[in-house]
Amino acid sequence: DSLEDIDTDIITLPRYITENQQNIKDARGDFTLVLNALGFAFKFISQTIRKAELINLVGITGNTNSTGDQQKKLDVLGDEIFINAMKGSGIVKLLVSEEQDDLIVFKHNDAKYAVCCDPIDGSSNLDAGVSVGTIVSIFKILPGSTGNVRDILRAGTEMVASCYAMYGASTHLLISMGNGNGVQGFTLDNNLGEFILVYPDLRIPPQRSIYSINEGNTYYWSDPIKQFVAQLKEPQQHIDGKPYSARYIGSMVADIHRTFLYGGLFAYPADAKNPNGKLRLLYEAFPMAMLIEQAGGKAVNDRGERILDLKPEHIHDKSSVWMGSTEDVDAYLRHIGKL
């Protein structure tokens, strides 16, 4: 590479936000502060995960989190990093974290945003070096509110932004500011310490014969879901008589990231063990549904209802999910008679 090949006019995350400020829902300068704090949290968690193997952080702490899963040291650290970054921004009033039973209310009087997050999603995969991520939804607190749970128990359509960071071979960040602004994909340049725009206006392919589901749960599924998945494994007319391929990492961010780039269908349906599915509405289903829709895809629950129209009753509510390429989600909707 010669020096002439170096692009000196790259678009960093702060630059993207500054240049697109007029298109961002409700955003003045203060939304930039939220994004700066998020960017910092993602970099910090990314570094910590990469260090973890070396300094032997990996292991069970012995505590369990609010959802009863075994909690690992990295979950605790990721959670602390995230909470402190949001607190430090001075602009976030409310925070929901998968790792905290209760809503966190910060003291900043004029803070305007509510953030919901899963600090390290897919953490059961960490020891195997599989990609994990942080998933985030952002709401603006209601006019006149001083910050309480009603600012958060709202339909997904009211999010002002959502994003996820994936800590893989590199650290990727996909973000949507809603309002038809689409999805922007950034990759962390470790030397610069900046997220660089590498996938502007990412679109999800309209169809791809890939399904991503934990088929080990088949026994617990309802008959319509068993039938639908069985059918995917039969020759499909619309794809030259080939059946679908199975891809399941078991780390939502990684499975969704592949779905963004290649297309296909990701699902976590309800089953006899998890009557509302496994994934959390506020910080897993909502942000992913917003990103998927903004990229041209679809996201529904088992009953075929649009995820973003759902409204949680409790901060840790769950939802079944079917999301990804429009035509593949439509195949499910047709199967259940909703299209």
Positions that interact with ligand AHM (CB under 6 A): 69, 98, 118, 121-124, 214, 250-252, 268, 278
CA distance 169 to 154: 35
Choose from Mg ion, ligand AHM, none: what does 326 bind? Cβ within 5-8 Å by kind.
Answer: none
Which ranges in 20-127 belong to alpha helices (H)?
Answer: 29-52, 73-89
- Sheet of strand 245-246, all strands in order from the earlier edge strand to the far edge: 245-246, 210-212, 265-268, 321-324, 298-300
Q: Is 217 exposed, middle or buried (0-12, 13-18, 19+ CB in 10 A)?
A: middle
For the CB of residue 307, give the shortest distance to Mg ion in the complex, in Å.
Answer: 16
Residue 168 or residue 250: which is nearer to ligand AHM going by CB?
250
For the CB of residue 150, give the shortest distance to ligand AHM in the complex, in Å.
Answer: 25
Choose from ligand AHM, Mg ion, none: what does 278 bind? Cβ within 5-8 Å by kind.
Answer: ligand AHM
* Cβ proximity of 108 and 119 under 8 Å: no
Residue 122 or residue 182: which is nearer to ligand AHM going by CB?
122
Structure tokens at 254: 């990684």
Amino acid at position 86, single letter: M
Residue 123 or residue 326: which is nearer to Mg ion going by CB?
123
CA distance 116 to 92: 11
For the CB of residue 117, give the shortest distance to ligand AHM in the complex, in Å.
Answer: 11
Choose from Mg ion, ligand AHM, none: what does 140 bind? Cβ within 5-8 Å by kind.
Answer: none
Spatial CA neighbour of 284 closest among 109, 130, 124, 96: 96
Choose from ligand AHM, Mg ion, none: what does 251 bind? Cβ within 5-8 Å by kind.
Answer: ligand AHM
Residue 141 or residue 256: which is nearer to ligand AHM going by CB?
256
Residue 121 or residue 271: which is nearer to Mg ion going by CB?
121
Choose from Mg ion, ligand AHM, none: what does 224 bind? Cβ within 5-8 Å by kind.
Answer: none
Structure tokens at 255: 């499975």
Choose from ligand AHM, Mg ion, none: what does 48 bind? Cβ within 5-8 Å by kind.
Answer: none
69-95 burial, b for 16+ CB within 10 Å, e for fewer?
eebbbbbbbbbebbbebbbebebbbbb
Kind plus residue range of the DSSP H or E element containing 174: strand 171-176
Structure tokens at 313: 């009753």
For the CB of residue 268, give the shortest distance to ligand AHM in the complex, in Å.
Answer: 6
The region that residue 320 occupies, defined by phi over 0 for left and psi between -120 and 50 for alpha, beta otherwise, is beta
For the CB of residue 132, give the shortest distance to Mg ion in the complex, in Å.
Answer: 9
Residue 23 or residue 64: which is nearer to ligand AHM going by CB?
64
Residue 124 or residue 145: which is nearer to ligand AHM going by CB?
124
* 72, 101, 128 from 124: Cα distances, Å: 8, 20, 9
Q: Cα–Cα–Cα angle for 152, 167, 316, nearest 5°?
A: 25
- Residues forming the site for Mg ion (CB under 5 A): 118, 121
Residue 24 or residue 135: which is nearer to Mg ion going by CB?
135
For the CB of residue 300, give the shortest distance to ligand AHM in the complex, in Å.
Answer: 17
Beta bridge partners of 218: none
For the CB of residue 53, give the shortest distance to Mg ion in the complex, in Å.
Answer: 21
Choose from Mg ion, ligand AHM, none: what does 170 bind? Cβ within 5-8 Å by kind.
Answer: none
For the CB of residue 321, give the shortest distance to ligand AHM in the complex, in Å.
Answer: 9
Choose from ligand AHM, Mg ion, none: what does 323 bind? Cβ within 5-8 Å by kind.
Answer: none
Looking at beta carbons, which residue is closest to Mg ion? Answer: 121
* Cβ proximity of 104 and 97 under 8 Å: yes
For the CB of residue 192, give the shortest distance to Mg ion in the complex, in Å.
Answer: 29
Residue 78 or residue 182: which is nearer to Mg ion going by CB?
78
